[in-house]
Amino acid sequence: MGNAAIYKKLTDGLLKYSNQSGIKKGVLGLSGGLDSATTLKVAADALGAENVAAIIMPETGLTKSENTTHAKGLCEFMKIEHYLLPINSFILNYATLPWKQNDTAFINNKARVRATILYNFANTFNALVLGTSNKSELLLGYGTKHGDLASDIMVLGDLYKSEIFELAEYLGLPQELIDKQPSAELFEGQTDEQELGGSYKEIDTILKQRDAGEEALIEKGMNPMLVRGLFQRMKLNKHKLETAPIIQIT
């Protein structure tokens, strides 16, 4: 499917969901990265720029200043209502917990704080929270449960990351966003590809053929460590996209 057809499906799909829900506004967290920028562009074209809001939530001292600058600049260019809200003070309160939180809990706090801010805005102004995760991340569970994986609709959730690079170029998004190394910026030096063990091009090649099974992919000559690592992630993180189980009484 070409980028024009993909773009039409995304804008039509978001507008349809908005009409069905009766909620005309959308809000998203804008990081300065490619996924959220692409989501912003699709949302503005589908709902109207006047019906979209972006909340820029850097962690002062960790988030690169260029990411905040890029996010603000994109909103100003597209005439999108936006708010700059550093999350440091929200995170700081977790230090008063009566137990010592581990690194995983500390990192996930950041994504969950951002989600609560987005839902506070959504509840206040009757808006949909627009998720910015892509299909590669969703398949691997590469995200925080009830954090960046929390949304009312995942706009790009059926597009692999490698497809989003192509779509962004078609939409004319700034080249500096397209060329930027993908990172959730949850800790110093983090990059998606380093953490996942391969480039998104390699990762998506494996994910698109996942139904063949890991042994078959290894026999095809794909990187055994990467294949096994991705299949392990899919298995362990499957719960992140499922509704919590209910213990049946009847």
pTM here is 0.95
Reply yes or no on whether the pLDDT at 247 is more than 90: yes
In the chain, the percentage of residues whose pLDDT exceeds 90 is 93
- Strands 127-131 and 25-29, sheet pairing: parallel
- What the block records as the tokens of 137 is 């991340």
- Residue 146's pLDDT band (boundaries 50, 70, 90)? very high
Please, where are the H alpha helices in the chain? 3-21, 34-47, 65-78, 88-92, 103-125, 135-140, 161-171, 175-178, 192-196, 200-207, 214-219, 224-237
Position 172 scores a pLDDT of 96
Position 211 scores a pLDDT of 97
User: Domains plus CATH for the chain?
Assistant: 3-184 (3.40.50.620)
- pLDDT, one tens digit per residue, over 54-107 is 999 999 999 999 999 999 999 999 999 999 999 999 999 998 999 999 999 999
Handedness of CA 71, 76, 77, 79 (dihedral sign): positive
- Residue 152's pLDDT band (boundaries 50, 70, 90)? very high
- pLDDT, one tens digit per residue, over 189-223 is 888 999 999 999 999 999 999 999 999 999 999 99
Position 187 scores a pLDDT of 82
- pLDDT, one tens digit per residue, over 172-194 is 999 999 998 888 888 888 889 99
What is the average pLDDT across 138-154? 97
224 three-class SS: helix
Tell me if 156 sits within 8 A of 136, measured CB to CB. Answer: no
- pLDDT, one tens digit per residue, over 111-144 is 999 999 999 999 999 999 999 999 999 999 999 9
